[in-house]
Amino acid sequence: MNQQMQFDINDGIHEECGVFGIYDFDGRSVASTIYYGLLALQHRGQESCGIAVSDTSGPKGKMQSVKGMGLVNEVFTPDSLERLSGNIGLGHVRYSTAGESTRENAQPLVLNYIKGTLGLAHNGNLINAGELRQELSMGGAIFQTTIDSEVIAYHIARERVNSPTAEAAVAKAMKKIRGAYSLIVTSPRKLIGARDPFGFRPLCLGRRDNAYILASESCALDTIGAEFLRDVEPGEIVTIRDNQVFSDRSMCLPKDQAARCIFEYIYFARPDTHIDGISVYHSRLQAGRFLAMDSPVEADIVTGVPESGNGAALGYSLQSGIPYGTAFVKNSYVGRTFIKPKQSSRESSVQVKLNVLKEAVDGKRVIMVDDSIVRGTTSDRIVRMLREAGATEVHVRISSPPFLWPCYFGTDIPVREQLIAYNRSIEQIRQVIGADSLGYLELQRLSEMVEDLPICTGCFTGKYPMDPPTEDIRGEFEK
């Protein structure tokens, strides 16, 4: 087959994980609630998932878990959920950015140690995981996984031995780990949430009756009928016990030093989520409006590449007055890791997942809005698909600036040499993807689209909120 047709359908950015935890003080079983919470967070990871629960009125330190490879509704059955009996628990969906794609690396992690049982679910990526792992290994630690989440769990367990409480152990561990993390930790009688001091990854707090919930996104709270209480602040540790929420803000930095990942707003999060007081849907509309202001072009239809391009495309349409339309039909049953049987297969990976609605674009000048261009192979194919369906012009607009640097904080943006924008002008990129014109979101617009919340722009500018590692710790990125 033509080599241009042999690329990964997932030539886009991906995020690492979604986390969910709940403590029901009425003693009701929480496994099914965690299941529905994970379904709402499925977009954050489709590689593996897991649920771990325990009964606070039962034997101290007994925790049951079910983990597996695949989607939430593939891994769990009614029988397996029925067997997970307990009123405190946590769940996790995973997309790997560091560590192999194996069942052993599925979360939540459950550790049995001298103080009882520790459960942990982690979203993010540490930049000093290697040195911390080496330190633990020299002390006799035996690792069961290749993920940095296990390093965090071991450090918490080790600190707990000489700490008065589990939350104090989490605080001590946070002083050692560096990078991006939103954590949910369970001890036998507590549910603990923690967010790194820069706030790279989101974490919010909710309540339903006498149950408290921690989740990566507020949409998971909506799904289970819970009330959104607030976001966990960057650097904050919240401890849920005795039907109360206790807060430790000793690790918090000044608010202007936070560095939220802008791609939570551009791509990762569901549009019905609010993060740190900002509507994800509104931020995408704003990005589209800014694109229309800064990169106008005459056309007949504006369309988004599903799903994350749709909001920005609508914003572009509203600002420009050019009609918004659906030009792509998406096969929702194809995951990010679907099987491509053979290299010789004649089917295009993109067309398996996406097809053009010919009637919508035939004979028209099309503005195609997408969230990003990484290597450019998918953009090239989609532009060709539009032309083959009869589009007379294809103008590409991207609701983020060009990627020029890798990410070390849980987003799998690869090494610079693999980025289409590396050593290329916008005009050269336009030629590579075959568009009639190409426009990116201006860098200064990023803060405007999130109402001046402090954000990380490292992948666009090379200026990271903390010193990046001296060696690349994201092994899977190079494959």
Question: What number is the average pLDDT over the span 438-449?
Answer: 98
For residue 150, count other CB atoms closer than 10 A to its CB. 24
| CA 238 distance to own-chain centroid | 21
**Gap between the Cα atoms of 214 and 218, Å rounded:** 9
Residue 364 has a pLDDT of 98
- Name every residue whose Cβ is closer than 8 Å to that of residue 243 and which is 6 or more positions away in sequence: 25, 210
Q: Which are the catalytic amino acids? A: 17
Q: Which residue from 328, 443, 439, 433 is spatially nearest to 384, judged by alpha carbons? A: 433
Q: Which residue has the higher pLDDT, 412 or 71?
A: 71
Give the residues across from 164 on adjacent strands. Answer: none
Residue 6: predicted pLDDT: 29
**pLDDT single digits (tens) 267-295:** 999 999 999 999 999 999 999 999 999 99
**Sign, CA torsion 342/348/354/355:** negative
pLDDT digits (tens, 9 = 90+) for 109-128: 999 988 889 999 999 999 99
Residue ranges of the chain that CATH labels 3.40.50.2020: 279-478
Q: DSSP assignment, residue 251? A: T
Residue with tokens 């039909």: 329
405 conformational bin, left if phi > 0, alpha if psi -120 to 50, beta if neither: beta
**Which homologous superfamily does the CATH classification assign to the domain defined by 17-258?**
Aminohydrolase, N-terminal nucleophile (Ntn) domain (3.60.20.10)
The CATH topology of domain 279-478 is Rossmann fold (3.40.50)
Angle at 55 between CA 50 and CA 58, to 5 degrees: 140
For the chain, where do the domains classified as CATH 3.60.20.10 start and end?
Answer: 17-258
pTM of the complete model: 0.91
Say if residue 60's pLDDT is above 90: no
